[in-house]
């Protein structure tokens, strides 16, 4: 059996967590999470651990574990759960959780792997304590995964053995994304309104490009601490007819908007605290939908989007260059379709979820 550990396994958890849970070892996976969900979205035994007593869910019943007494540690509980289900291999999502669950995996005697994703391999490296923890992890776990070579190199620089880590981008399921109708000058942005996503730069760059293009429109899905600032900007500059800020929306809404958009915009940057992207899944989904991408030369993005072949990449914080790139594509729909077709082909061949799952299985020695 295979065990997948994540802070959350709810419907709102990251797309890649659910993909890993469904695709790495289908039908032979158990789950460990820190957050309790009333309706687990993934099929299989679940162990919830956190500040409250752990709970096991077997799909039909829910019971408090009697072993959760003051005489047993959390790691003992997890190790017992892993042994009960004959788990031989375990993978934790994100480096921080990977460090925390290392003793449990060792107690259970299973091979242990950790998948890094973004802030855990960038911002977190500013902490000497975290670096020391990771270095212990590098010595004692059996292998590691990163969504981009950019992040893998950061981990190698602090001691991760080169032969212990492989690049496994968080892939997309191509069949879930039809080729977009690619309506001219219709743009889409998806992402949290946080510093590393620079949503205001995306909005301002689009607004500059849209000034002389009456039919241009941007749909922006996402929420976060910078949403209010962006809403005020849209109101101040009277852009509500050109920019729709949707806030949080279900993934189905994202797919519906991608089915009509022609351009995908994302101005990712390195945040002031060092936080970076891994390789944004939204960009890969847009590519799978046949959208041309306008983004930045940031983290793993250039590993997916080749400048001039699948869209345009600009320097971080260069609002003018982004506006120019958007303008160029808005004025040349034939180019948009060509770049979008090439983006779709690349996403399907290089960044499918099944390909990523296959690479992970191979590294961990899991045979279906």
- Domain range 2-171+352-364, CATH class: alpha beta
Tens of pLDDT along 48-93? Answer: 887 454 555 554 334 444 333 333 478 888 999 999 999 999 999 9
Query: What integer best gives the mean pLDDT of the chain?
Result: 92
- Min mean pLDDT across 8-12, 23-27, 43-47, 138-142 is at 8-12
Q: Under a CB-based contact definition with an 8 Å cutoff, are residues 89 and 113 in contact?
A: yes
What pLDDT is recorded for position 40?
59
Distances (CA, A) of 113 to 44, 138, 146, 216, 261: 20, 10, 11, 46, 38
Fold match between 2-171+352-364 and 174-350? yes
Question: Average of pLDDT values for 134-150?
Answer: 97
Q: What are the tens digits of pLDDT across the range 320-349? A: 999 999 999 999 999 999 999 999 999 999
CA–CA distance, 294 with 161 (Å, rounded to integer): 34
- What pLDDT shows up at residue 73? 75
Average pLDDT over residues 108-126: 96
DSSP 94: S
Query: What pTM did the predictor assign?
Result: 0.89
For 174-350, which CATH class? alpha beta
> How far, in Å, CA of 19 to CA of 34, rounded?
18
Q: Is the pLDDT of residue 154 over 80?
A: yes
113: pLDDT strictly greater than 60: yes
Please give the Cα distance from 328 to 125 (Å, whole number): 38
What does DSSP assign to residue 55? Answer: E
Mean pLDDT of 284-288: 97
pLDDT greater than 90 at residue 42:
no
């Amino acid at each position: 059996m295979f065990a997948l550990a994540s802070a959350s396994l709810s419907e709102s958890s990251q797309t890649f967590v659910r993909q890993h849970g469904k695709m790495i070892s289908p039908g032979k996976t158990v789950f460990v999470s820190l957050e309790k969900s009333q309706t687990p979205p993934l099929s299989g035994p679940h162990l919830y651990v956190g500040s409250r007593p752990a709970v096991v869910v077997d799909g039909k019943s829910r019971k408090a574990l009697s072993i959760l007494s003051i005489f047993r540690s959390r790691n003992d509980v997890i190790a017992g759960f892993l042994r009960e289900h004959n788990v031989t291999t375990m993978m934790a999502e994100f480096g921080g959780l990977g460090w925390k669950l290392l003793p449990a995996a060792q107690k259970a005697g299973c091979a242990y792997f950790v998948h890094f994703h973004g802030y855990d391999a960038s911002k977190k490296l500013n902490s000497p304590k975290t670096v020391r923890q990771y270095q212990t992890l590098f010595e004692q776990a059996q292998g590691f995964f990163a969504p981009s070579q950019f992040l893998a190199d950061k981990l190698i620089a602090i001691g991760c053995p080169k032969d212990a880590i492989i690049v496994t981008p968080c892939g997309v399921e191509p069949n879930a994304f039809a080729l977009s109708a690619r309506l001219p000058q219709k743009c889409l942005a998806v992402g949290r309104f946080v510093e590393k996503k620079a949503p205001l730069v995306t909005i301002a760059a689009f607004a500059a490009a849209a000034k002389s293009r009456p039919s241009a429109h941007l749909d922006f899905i996402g929420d976060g601490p910078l949403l209010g600032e962006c809403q005020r900007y849209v109101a101040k500059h009277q852009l509500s007819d050109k920019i729709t800020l949707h806030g949080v929306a279900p993934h189905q809404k994202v797919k519906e908007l991608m089915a009509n958009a022609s351009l995908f915009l994302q101005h990712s940057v390195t945040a002031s605290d060092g936080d970076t992207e891994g390789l944004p899944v939204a960009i890969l989904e847009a590519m799978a939908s046949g959208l041309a991408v306008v983004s930045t030369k940031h983290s793993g993005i250039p590993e997916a989007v080749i400048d001039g072949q699948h869209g345009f990449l600009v320097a971080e914080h260069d609002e003018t260059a982004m506006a120019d790139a958007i303008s160029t594509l808005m004025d040349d729909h034939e180019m948009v379709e060509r770049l979008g077709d090439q983006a779709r082909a690349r996403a399907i061949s290089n960044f499918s979820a099944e390909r990523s799952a296959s690479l992970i299985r191979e590294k961990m020695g899991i045979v279906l």
